[in-house]
Amino acid sequence: MAQGDDPGDVAIHSDARLAVLVRKNHSYVRLSTPEPPPKAPDPAAKLTTTPNTPPPSSTALIHHDTRVVYNGKGYRVQIYSGPDRNKAIAVKSEFMRRNPGVSTYLFYVAPAFRVKVGDYRTQRDAEGMLREANSLFSPCMIVPDMVTISTY
């Protein structure tokens, strides 16, 4: 015993490879290994966070340089819903030809094929596309959906 050691101290050393041999309630138990100490911040690195920035909510907001991506609940305009797959493909192709910059989606939800266009965060944002789509495709309606919006 080294000088200054408390006789009640016990040091346990384990090998992480032994974790696969340890079983508890018919499931494997992973032995924890110590984490490396955190790295010191680089003084040359620029701070990209701003004070008073609210924490992210349930929707994901990711900042990549000048691009902002929103992934969460939003709206799309449904321009076709019916059982005919060929007509759904034709409607999608025609819309894409007339509106090359607008995202277009084809879904199959039994028993109907659905063509939806756009990625909008609010119903009000989708109303302009609804007016435009109603002039060519009928009936059209705004439907809630999970959307991804990229701004460059």
How does pLDDT run across 99-148, given as a tens digit for each residue? Answer: 999 999 999 999 999 999 999 999 999 999 999 999 999 899 999 999 98
**Residue-level pLDDT at 76:** 97
Q: Which residue has the tokens 């990711």?
A: 62
How does pLDDT run across 8-58, given as a tens digit for each residue? Answer: 555 555 555 544 444 443 443 344 445 566 666 555 555 444 444 444 444
**Residue-level pLDDT at 149:** 85
The residues with which 24 forms a beta bridge, in sequence order, are: 27
Q: Which domains does the chain have, with CATH numbers?
A: 67-151 (3.30.70.1070)
Q: How many CB atoms lie within 10 A of CB 112?
A: 13
**Residue-level pLDDT at 42:** 58
**How many residues are given for the chain?**
152
